[in-house]
Amino acid sequence: MPKIETFPNRHPDRDYDIEITCPEFTSLCPKTGQPDFATLRIHYVPDRLCLELKSLKLYLFAYRNQGIFYEHVTNKMLDDLVAAVKPRRMTVEGSFSVRGGISTVVRAAYEARRPRKR
Amino acid sequence: MPKIETFPNRHPDRDYDIEITCPEFTSLCPKTGQPDFATLRIHYVPDRLCLELKSLKLYLFAYRNQGIFYEHVTNKMLDDLVAAVKPRRMTVEGSFSVRGGISTVVRAAYEARRPRKR
Amino acid sequence: MPKIETFPNRHPDRDYDIEITCPEFTSLCPKTGQPDFATLRIHYVPDRLCLELKSLKLYLFAYRNQGIFYEHVTNKMLDDLVAAVKPRRMTVEGSFSVRGGISTVVRAAYEARRPRKR
Amino acid sequence: MPKIETFPNRHPDRDYDIEITCPEFTSLCPKTGQPDFATLRIHYVPDRLCLELKSLKLYLFAYRNQGIFYEHVTNKMLDDLVAAVKPRRMTVEGSFSVRGGISTVVRAAYEARRPRKR
Amino acid sequence: MPKIETFPNRHPDRDYDIEITCPEFTSLCPKTGQPDFATLRIHYVPDRLCLELKSLKLYLFAYRNQGIFYEHVTNKMLDDLVAAVKPRRMTVEGSFSVRGGISTVVRAAYEARRPRKR
Amino acid sequence: MPKIETFPNRHPDRDYDIEITCPEFTSLCPKTGQPDFATLRIHYVPDRLCLELKSLKLYLFAYRNQGIFYEHVTNKMLDDLVAAVKPRRMTVEGSFSVRGGISTVVRAAYEARRPRKR
Amino acid sequence: MPKIETFPNRHPDRDYDIEITCPEFTSLCPKTGQPDFATLRIHYVPDRLCLELKSLKLYLFAYRNQGIFYEHVTNKMLDDLVAAVKPRRMTVEGSFSVRGGISTVVRAAYEARRPRKR
Amino acid sequence: MPKIETFPNRHPDRDYDIEITCPEFTSLCPKTGQPDFATLRIHYVPDRLCLELKSLKLYLFAYRNQGIFYEHVTNKMLDDLVAAVKPRRMTVEGSFSVRGGISTVVRAAYEARRPRKR
Amino acid sequence: MPKIETFPNRHPDRDYDIEITCPEFTSLCPKTGQPDFATLRIHYVPDRLCLELKSLKLYLFAYRNQGIFYEHVTNKMLDDLVAAVKPRRMTVEGSFSVRGGISTVVRAAYEARRPRKR
Amino acid sequence: MPKIETFPNRHPDRDYDIEITCPEFTSLCPKTGQPDFATLRIHYVPDRLCLELKSLKLYLFAYRNQGIFYEHVTNKMLDDLVAAVKPRRMTVEGSFSVRGGISTVVRAAYEARRPRKR
C-alpha cells in the first residue's frame, strides 16, 4: 500500500475535529471479482500529526483492484490510519452501495488510551 | 425458513457497527391476504460472527408468501438473527408502507447479557 | 367516540417501539367552524396490548366534524389511547397545518408509574 | 353548494395566469364512506372575472361530507368553476392520496370557444 | 390473470387525464427466480370506461410469483389494460429497482386509431 | 413609488435572458390590512436598458405598507417595469404564501410589438 | 405593542410541548432602515396558560415598521412571551435571512425557577 | 472489450422506451492516471434486439483500468451499443464527477436512417 | 486573461452536447469592490475543437480580483469561449448569489451561422 | 487583517446562542496557489460583546488572496474571534469544497475558563 503521509498539527494544544468524506471509493468483491463502490467518512481529533489528503487519495486508490470484504476494508483502514496519524480519536465509516437489494454501512472507532485532557 | 449463514468476524477485539438496509421486503397481511411492503434496517455489533448477506436475502425472501403481522415479523426476525449471529447488540427496524392512510414503524433491540468491555 | 381496539402483544418480555404516522387527520376549529388538518404521530412501547390500526382509523375519523383545539385534541388522544392500550410509554404528536402564517406542533407524553425493567 | 364568487378582472386586456393550490381538500369515498384526501390545483386565464378565494374555500369545504368519486369531483369542479368565472382557459387537477398502495391524479381542462387573441 | 374491471366514464365528452401510481409492484426474475420490484405508472385518457382501482390492485398482485422480464411485463400490462379499458390514449411505465448496480425504466404507449376530436 | 432606474445594456446586439428572484416581497391585504408575503420572479430580455437592482429593491420596499390584491400587484409591477426598462420581453411572477390553506401564483407577460430578430 | 393574549391550559397536570413556527416575520434594520426577514420558532411547556395564536400574529405584526437588531428582537420577544404566558420553559429562535452573504440564527431560552415535577 | 449481448425484442411492432441508469461507472484519466467516476444513462427504442444487462455490466467494468477522456468514452459507448443493439434511437449520457471544482456531462445521440413509422 | 485552450474533437461527424458546471466562480462588484459569487454553466455542441478544462479553470480564476457586472461577465465569457472553441452552439449561464435579498441569473446563447446538418 | 468589531450585548444576564453562516468564504491553497472555497459556521454564546457582522465580512474578505491550510484557517479564525469577542463559548466550523474527490470539514471550539452560571 502507498504510504499515508502526515504533516505537523499546528494546534496540538486544542482538541478539534477533522471530517473527511471520500464518495469515490471502489474495490472488488473477493467472492465474485465484481466492483464494489462506497462513500468513506474519516473523522478524527489530531494529536501531533494531521492526515495529508493527497497521500490519502493514493492510499484509497490502491484498493481499486483488490478483492476485500466490507467489514475488513473498514477495520483495516482504521488500523492503517491510526498507525500513521496517531490521533487522539478516529472513526472510519464505509457506506457500501446496493447489492442484491441490500446496502451496508460499517463503522469502526479508535480512542487513544490516555487521551489529553480537553 | 432458509438458514441464516455467518462468517467469522476478523476484528472481534473491537466493538464496531454494521448497518444493513433492505428496502425490498414484502410479506402478506394475515387478515386480508394482501401484500405488505417494508424497508428493514438491521444494526448490530458483531461478536465472533458476521451476518452473510446472500443468506439474509434468501431468509427475507422466505416471507414473501407468508401471512404475518408487522409487530410479529420484526420481533421474530430479531430472534432468528440473534440466534444465528450471536451479536453483542442488535436492532431490527421495519418501516411498513401506508395502509388506510397510516404507516407504521416497529423497532426491537437485543443486548447480550455480559457485553465485552469496549 | 368509536372504541379503540387492541390485540395481545406476542412479545411482552421485550420493550420495543411502535411508531404510527397518520398524515390524514382533520377536525374543525371550535371558534370558526373551519377545517383544521394535521399529521398525527403515535409512538409507544406496548405492555400486554397492541393498538389495532383499523379501529384507530375509525377513532381518528370520529373527529372529522368535531370542533376541538390543537392542545386539547393532542392531550385527549393521549388519554384515550393510554386508557385503551395501557402501554409502558406513549407519545402523541400533532403537527397542525398553517393558519394565519403560523404552524403549530403539540407533543404530549405518558410513562407508566412502574415501568417493567428493560 | 355554496356560491363561487368572483370579482372584476382589472387587467382584461392581457392574458395572464392564475394558479391556485389547495392542499387541504377532503371528501368521502362513495363506496366505503371513508375519507379521501387530495391536493387540488386550479390554473386559469381570467377573462372579465377573477375567482374570489374565500368563496372557493367554502365551496371546497362543502365536499367534506359528500361521497364522490375522484374522476367525478375533478370534472364537476371544473364545470362549476367555468360556469362561475367564465375564464379564457382553465385546468383543474386533483392529486388523491394513497389508497391500497395506489395514488391517483385526475386532470381536466377547458378552453373557451373563441379565445381572445393574445 | 384476474379480470381488470371498469366503470362508465361520466364525462366522455371531454378528453381528460388519469394518472395512477403503484409503488408496490413485485414479480420474479425469470432467470434467477429472485424477486424484482418496480413502481408502475399508468397514464390514460378514458373514452367510455374508467379503470376500477381495486381490480387493478388484484391484477398487479397476480404477478407476485410469476417470472417475467421488465420489457415484457410493461408491454403486456399495456396490452391488457388497453383491451379492458379501451382508452383514447394510454402509457404504462415501469421503474425497476437496482440490480447489479443498474436500474431500468421501460415505457410503452398506445393511441387509439381514430381519436375523438378534442 | 420610487423611480425604477436602469443602466445601458452593453450587449444589445444579442437577445439574452436576465432572471431576478426576490423572495422577500411583502405588502398588505387591502381587505383585512394583514401582511401578505410573496416571492417575485422577474424574467426579461433587455433591449437598450438593464434593470438596476438597488432601485428595484427600493421599488419593492415601497409596497410594504400598501394594501393591494395579488392579481393587481403582479400586473402593475409588469406595467411599471416595462415602462422603465423597455425590454424585448418580460414576465413577472408572484408566488403568494398560504392564506386559509390556499396558495396562489400570478404570472403576467409582455412582448414588444416588433421584437428584434434573434 | 399589542397585548399577547392567553387561554387556560386544560392539561396543567402534564408537562407537554407546544412548538409554533412563524415564517413570515419582518422588521426593519435599525441602521439602514431596510427590511429584515426571519422565521421565528417559539417552543414552550405551558403551566396555567397557553399562548393565543391570533394575538401572537398581531404582536409579531407590530414589529413590521420598527428598527430593531436581531439579538435584541429575539431576547425581547422571549421576555414579552414569558411575561404573558408564564410557561414552565420557553425557547425563542429567530432565523434571519441572508445579508451581505451572511445569515444569522439567534436562540434564547427561559426556565422557570421552580419547575413543576414531571 | 467484452461482447455486448442482446436478446430478441418481443414487441417490435411498437416503439417503446428503455432507460438504463448505471451510477457506478469508473475509468482512469488518460493524463494523470487518476480514477474518474460517472453516472451513465442509456436511453433507447429497441428494434429487433434488446440490450442484455449482465453483459452491459461486464462491458462497463472493462473500462475500469483504461485511460479515456470524457468526450471519447461517451461517444465510443454510443457507437459500440448501436453496433450491438441496432436500435431505432439511442442516447448515451455520462455525468462525470467534480474535478478541479468543475463537473461535466457529455450527451450523444443516434437515430436510425429509416425509422419505422410509429 | 489566460488563454482558453482546446483539443481536437474526435467525433466531429456527430452533434453532441457537453455541459460544464463550475460552482466556484468569484469576481468583485465594480461598484463596491465586494466579492460576488456565482455558479457558471457552459453548454455547447463542439465542431472541430473541445474546451480544455484545466485552461477553463485558470481562465475563470483570472476574474477573481476583477470588478465586473453580472450581465457583462456572462456575455464576455460567451464571446471569449466562442472565439476559442468555435462551437456549433454555446450557452453560458451565470447564477449569482443573493445580494440585498435578490438573486440573479444571466443566460446568453450563440449559434453558428451555418450549423452542420444533424 | 481588518479589525473584528463588536457591540455591547444588551442581554448579558442570559446565556443565549448566536449562529452565523457564511457560505461565501474563499482563500488560496498554500501549495498550488489555486482557490479554495468553504462555508463557515460560527456559533457562540456572547458575554459582554456581540460580533459586528459587517466587520466580520471584511475580516473574511481579507483571506481572499492568502495561502492558508484548512486546519490552520479554522483554528486561527477561532483565536481571532475569541480575542475580539471574548465569548462564553465559541465554535468555528469550515466545510471546504471537494478537491481530488475529497471534501473536508474542520471544527474547533473554545470555552471560557470560568463560565457564568446559567
pLDDT value at position B12?
A: 96
Distance CA A50, CA J54 (A): 33
Å from E108 to nearest chain D CA? 19
Active-site residues of B: which are they?
A: 29, 36
Quick one: pLDDT band at residue J116, thresholds 50, 70, 90? Answer: low
pLDDT value at position J114?
A: 65
β-bridge partners, B39 = B95
B11 touches chain A (CB under 8 A): yes
The pTM (predicted TM-score) of the whole model is 0.93
Which member of J16, J50, J53 has the closest CB to residue G108? J16
Sign of the Cα pseudo-torsion (C72, C76, C78, C79, in order): positive
- Residues contacting residue F37 through CB under 8 Å, at least 6 positions apart: C101, F25, F26, F96, F97, G24
Over residues H68-84, mean pLDDT: 97
Contact between C31 and C69 (Cβ < 8 Å): no
Over residues C8-19, mean pLDDT: 96
Q: Which residue has the cell 392542499?
A: D23
Over residues H104-108, mean pLDDT: 98
> Contact partners of A by the rule of 3+ C-beta pairs under 8 A?
B, E, H, J
Q: How many helices (H) and strands (E) does chain C have?
A: 2, 6
Q: Which of J24, J52, J28, J54 is nearest to J38 (CA)?
A: J24
Contact between A108 and A98 (Cβ < 8 Å): no
Closest chain C residue to the Cα of D37, Cα to Cα: C24
pLDDT digits (tens, 9 = 90+) for F75-100: 999 999 999 999 999 999 999 999 98
Measured between beta carbons, the chain I residues lying within 8 angstroms of J28 are: none
Over residues I48-52, mean pLDDT: 97
Distance CA E11, CA E49 (A): 10
Report whether pLDDT(I22) > 50. Answer: yes
Distance CA A24, CA H23 (A): 11
Measured between beta carbons, the chain C residues lying within 8 angstroms of F97 are: 101
Distance CA H28, CA E24 (A): 39
Return the beta strands (E) in G29-88 as ranges: 35-45, 49-51
Of the residues H26, H37, H96, H98, the best mutation for testing chain J's interface (the one with the most J CB atoms within 10 Å of its CB) is: H98
Report whether pLDDT(B80) > 70. Answer: yes
β-bridge partners, B36 = B27
Which member of F11, F16, F53 has the closest CB to residue I102? F53
Measured between beta carbons, the chain F residues lying within 8 angstroms of G57 are: 34
pLDDT digits (tens, 9 = 90+) for E76-108: 999 999 999 999 999 999 999 999 899 999 999
Average pLDDT, chain B: 94
Å from A10 to nearest chain B CA? 31
Distance CA A8, CA A6 (A): 7
- Residues contacting residue J79 through CB under 8 Å, at least 6 positions apart: none
Chains I and E touch (3+ CB pairs under 8 A): no
Interface of G with J in 99-118 (CB under 8 A): 99-109
Which member of J74, J100, J105 has the closest CB to residue A53? J100
Q: Which of H2, H3, H21 is nearest to H84 (CA)?
A: H3
Chains F and D touch (3+ CB pairs under 8 A): yes
I68 touches chain H (CB under 8 A): no
Å from A68 to nearest chain J CA? 22
E50 touches chain D (CB under 8 A): yes
Å from A70 to nearest chain H CA? 17
Report whether pLDDT(J115) > 80. Answer: no
Report whether pLDDT(E73) > 70. Answer: yes
pLDDT value at position A112?
A: 92
Of the residues C96, C102, C107, C110, the best mutation for testing chain G's interface (the one with the most G CB atoms within 10 Å of its CB) is: C102
First-to-last C-alpha distance (Å) of chain G: 34
Over residues A4-21, mean pLDDT: 97
* Cell numbers for D107: 386532470
pLDDT value at position E14?
A: 95
G22, G29, G47, G80: the active-site residue: G29
Which member of F100, F101, F106 has the closest CB to residue D18? F106
pLDDT digits (tens, 9 = 90+) for D40-68: 999 999 999 999 999 999 999 999 999 99
Over residues A10-33, mean pLDDT: 96
Report whether pLDDT(I89) > 50. Answer: yes
Distance CA H114, CA H98 (A): 39
Measured between beta carbons, the chain J residues lying within 8 angstroms of I57 are: 34
Q: Which of B33, F98, B81, B79 is nearest to D23 (CA)?
A: F98
Distance CA F56, CA F3 (A): 9
Report whether pLDDT(D118) > 50. Answer: no
Over residues I68-79, mean pLDDT: 96
- For F54, G82, H71, I40, I111, the CA distances from F9, given in Å and listed in that order, are 16, 55, 36, 21, 21
pLDDT value at position E65?
A: 96
Distance CA J105, CA A90 (A): 14
Count CB neighbours of C96 within 10 A: 21
Of the residues J25, J27, J37, J99, the best mutation for testing chain I's interface (the one with the most I CB atoms within 10 Å of its CB) is: J37
* Percent of all residues in chain B with a pLDDT value above 90, rounded to a whole number: 92
Distance CA A67, CA A33 (A): 7
**Inter-chain touch G35–F64, beta carbons under 8 Å:** yes
- Annotated catalytic residue E15: no
pLDDT digits (tens, 9 = 90+) for C66-77: 999 999 999 999
β-bridge partners, C49 = C8
Closest chain A residue to the Cα of J108, Cα to Cα: A16
Q: Which of G103, G91, G5, G106 is nearest to G54 (CA)?
A: G5
Distance CA F83, CA J105 (A): 49
pLDDT value at position F113?
A: 82
Å from C13 to nearest chain D CA? 33
Å from I91 to nearest chain J CA? 25
Interface A:H, Cβ pairs < 8 A: 25
Å from J10 to nearest chain A CA? 31
Which member of F102, F105, F107 has the closest CB to residue D53? F102
> Contact partners of D by the rule of 3+ C-beta pairs under 8 A?
B, C, E, F
**Inter-chain touch G11–C75, beta carbons under 8 Å:** yes
Q: Which residue has the cell 366505503?
A: D32
| H14 φ, ψ (degrees, to nearest 5) | -130, 130
Measured between beta carbons, the chain F residues lying within 8 angstroms of C37 are: 101
- Annotated catalytic residue D22: no
Report whether pLDDT(F116) > 70. Answer: no
Which member of I34, I64, I97 has the closest CB to residue J35? I64
A49 touches chain J (CB under 8 A): no
Q: Which amino acid is at I52?
A: E
Over residues I73-77, mean pLDDT: 97
Q: Which of F79, E49, J53 is nearest to G103 (CA)?
A: J53
Report whether pLDDT(I13) > 80. Answer: yes
Which member of J35, J61, J64 has the closest CB to residue I24? J35
Report whether pLDDT(G55) > 80. Answer: yes
pLDDT value at position J118?
A: 46
Interface B:D, Cβ pairs < 8 A: 13
pLDDT digits (tens, 9 = 90+) for C43-60: 999 999 999 999 999 999
pLDDT value at position H1?
A: 82
- For A45, A52, C112, D44, E52, the CA distances from A5, given in Å and listed in that order, are 16, 5, 56, 65, 66
* Percent of all residues in chain G with a pLDDT value above 70, rounded to a whole number: 96
> Contact partners of H by the rule of 3+ C-beta pairs under 8 A?
A, E, I, J
> Contact partners of F by the rule of 3+ C-beta pairs under 8 A?
C, D, G, I
Å from G109 to nearest chain J CA? 7
Q: Which residue has the cell 427561559?
A: G110
Quick one: pLDDT band at residue H118, thresholds 50, 70, 90? Answer: very low
I75 touches chain F (CB under 8 A): yes
pLDDT digits (tens, 9 = 90+) for D69-111: 999 999 999 999 999 999 999 999 999 999 989 999 999 999 9
Of the residues J29, J34, J71, the best mutation for testing chain A's interface (the one with the most A CB atoms within 10 Å of its CB) is: J71
**Inter-chain touch I14–H108, beta carbons under 8 Å:** yes
E13, E17, E22, E29: the active-site residue: E29
